């Protein structure tokens, strides 16, 4: 069934349905096992493998490089569909798609060619940016030092989402002099240890735990020539979270509609002989679905702004203004999309009553996952950023920490 036929609206391009058709069988398999995996805390190694086999991880590469040449709106619409199947898998691939954008926008032909080849061959990249403790803005406790002719890294990273499933870790660090260093470190290098110690109540299958680096030798070609991120990094990484939320909303809407249609019991004070005919229950289902629809539409609109920055970069134009405007558009979307999906994943329980909290249904994971995603880079700051732009023309911050997103 097409996205249009499902009532979610047309995709972002004329070819979108043909592109999405390549991946929907994998999405369907992933969704079929999502509830059981969540209950068993079974990490999605196989599911990510299915996506790699289908070429999903090469979406943004040019077709000549083994990719699909997908635009950013196409990518984000596909991430909504993947999140509808399992938001954990989307989050686990977030760093990979961000690294891919770094490769596409790199000013180094050698770096771009090397990593285009690796990504085109199916290799994936996880996150090694965030740190806990007293790390200051613009600094890292993870240090890459010289040891004779070699460079080695020591340190610890947290929120290393996706790295347990990946071939490489995108590492942000600094050298002995405090200068930023960005590298891609092999997950199989001696001294690398990745722990699945994420204990959050949501997004439990993303392996968003700790990565330790103990005297890891960093090969020269692993170090990025320019440590700066791609110009739309802030907007991109936040928009992945919003696409994830939109997908959670769609899944919640479809599940509550299905469960209401199957329900045989009725409330003693209900308005019809069948729950599916009760106008108040129908209104709850409709509100959940409306929220999910609006969330997805907002994500695709914001994705157009990010695409404009990418096109400016490819044209060799100054990206300062379009990147700032893309940040504004995404920041404007954060509170609205977050509120829509949190309301939807809470309100769905009103349609089913106590039956909705049964473990076998797994409906609670929608709220848990949405609440967890919404806690990243909290929305409380977003309205202030947008207000400062609207009132004073103040551009949003470009980075919260050197090399980070």
Q: What pLDDT digit, counting tens, does each position of 79-102 carry? A: 999 999 999 999 999 999 999 999
Tokens of residue 293, six digits:
């629809």
What's the pLDDT at 401? 46
Assign 121 a pLDDT band (cuts: 50, 70, 90): very high
The set of residues, in sequence order, having a beta carbon less than 8 Å from that of 319 and lying 6+ positions away, is 231, 232, 309, 312, 313
Label residues 56-86 b or e (16+ Cβ within 10 Å = b). bbbbbbeeebebbebbbbbbbbbbbbbbbbb
User: Which tokens belong to 314?
Assistant: 């490819």
Distance CA 99, CA 124 (A): 9
Mean pLDDT of 292-308: 98
Is residue 109 pLDDT above 90, yes or no? yes
- The CA-atom distances, in angstroms, between 170 and each of 136, 173, 183, 227, 392 are 20, 10, 6, 11, 36
Q: With beta carbons less than 8 A apart as the criterion, state whether 102 and 229 touch.
A: yes
> Quick one: DSSP state of residue 130?
-
Rounded to an integer, the average pLDDT of 324-342 is 97
pLDDT for the residue numbered 137: 58
Looking at residue 135, its pLDDT comes to: 56
pLDDT band at 314 (very low <50, low <70, confident <90, very high): very high
Q: Which region among 68-77, 105-114, 197-206, 285-294 has the lowest average model confidence (pLDDT)?
A: 197-206
Residues whose CB is less than 8 angstroms from the CB of residue 7 and which lie 6 or more positions away in sequence, other chains included: 289, 293
| Average pLDDT of span 328-340 | 97
Q: What is the band of 298 on the pLDDT scale with cuts at 50, 70, 90?
A: very high
Residue 344: pLDDT band with limits 50, 70, 90:
very high
pLDDT at 86: 97
Q: Greatest CA separation found in the chain?
A: 80
pLDDT of residue 405 exceeding 50, the answer is no
Average pLDDT over residues 266-275: 77
Q: In which element (H, E) is residue 374 found?
A: helix 364-374
Give tens-digit pLDDT for 138-191: 568 899 999 988 999 999 999 999 999 999 999 999 999 889 999 999 999 999
* Tokens 């700066």 sit on residue: 228
Average pLDDT, the chain: 92
């Amino acid at each position: 069934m097409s996205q249009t036929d499902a009532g979610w609206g047309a995709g972002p391009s004329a070819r979108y349905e043909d592109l999405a058709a390549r991946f929907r069988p994998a999405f369907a398999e992933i969704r079929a096992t999502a509830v059981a995996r969540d209950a068993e805390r079974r990490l999605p190694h196989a599911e990510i493998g299915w996506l790699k086999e289908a070429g999903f991880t090469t979406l943004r590469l040019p077709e000549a490089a083994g990719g699909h040449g997908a635009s950013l709106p196409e990518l984000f619409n596909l991430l909504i569909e993947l999140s509808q199947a399992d938001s954990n898998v989307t989050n686990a691939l977030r760093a990979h798609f961000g690294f891919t954008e770094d490769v596409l926008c790199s000013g180094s032909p050698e770096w771009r060619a090397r990593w285009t080849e690796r990504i085109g061959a199916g290799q994936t990249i996880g996150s090694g940016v965030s740190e806990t403790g007293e790390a200051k803005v613009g600094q890292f406790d993870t240090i890459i030092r010289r040891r004779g002719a070699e460079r080695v890294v020591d340190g610890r990273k947290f929120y290393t989402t996706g790295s347990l499933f990946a071939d490489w870790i995108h590492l942000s660090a600094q050298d002995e002099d405090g200068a930023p260093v960005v590298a891609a470190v092999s997950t199989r290098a001696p001294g690398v240890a990745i722990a699945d110690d994420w204990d959050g109540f949501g997004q439990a299958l993303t392996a968003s735990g700790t990565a330790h680096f103990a005297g890891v030798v960093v090969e020269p070609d692993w170090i990025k020539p320019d440590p700066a991120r791609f110009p739309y990094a802030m907007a991109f990484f936040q928009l992945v979270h919003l696409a994830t939320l939109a997908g959670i909303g769609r899944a919640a809407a479809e599940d509550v509609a299905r469960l209401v249609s199957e329900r045989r019991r009725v409330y003693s004070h209900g308005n019809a002989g069948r729950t599916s005919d009760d106008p108040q229950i129908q209104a709850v289902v409709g509100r959940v679905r409306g929220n999910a629809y609006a969330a997805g539409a907002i994500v695709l609109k914001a994705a157009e702004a990010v695409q404009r920055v990418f096109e400016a970069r490819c044209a060799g134009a100054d990206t300062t203004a379009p990147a700032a405007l893309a940040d504004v558009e995404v920041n404007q979307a954060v509170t609205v999309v977050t509120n829509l999906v949190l309301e939807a994943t809470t309100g769905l329980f009103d349609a089913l009553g106590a039956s909705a909290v049964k473990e076998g249904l797994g409906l609670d994971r929608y709220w848990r996952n949405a609440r967890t995603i919404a806690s990243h880079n909290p929305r409380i700051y977003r309205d202030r950023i947008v207000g400062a732009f609207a009132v004073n023309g103040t551009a949003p911050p470009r980075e919260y920490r050197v090399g980070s997103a």
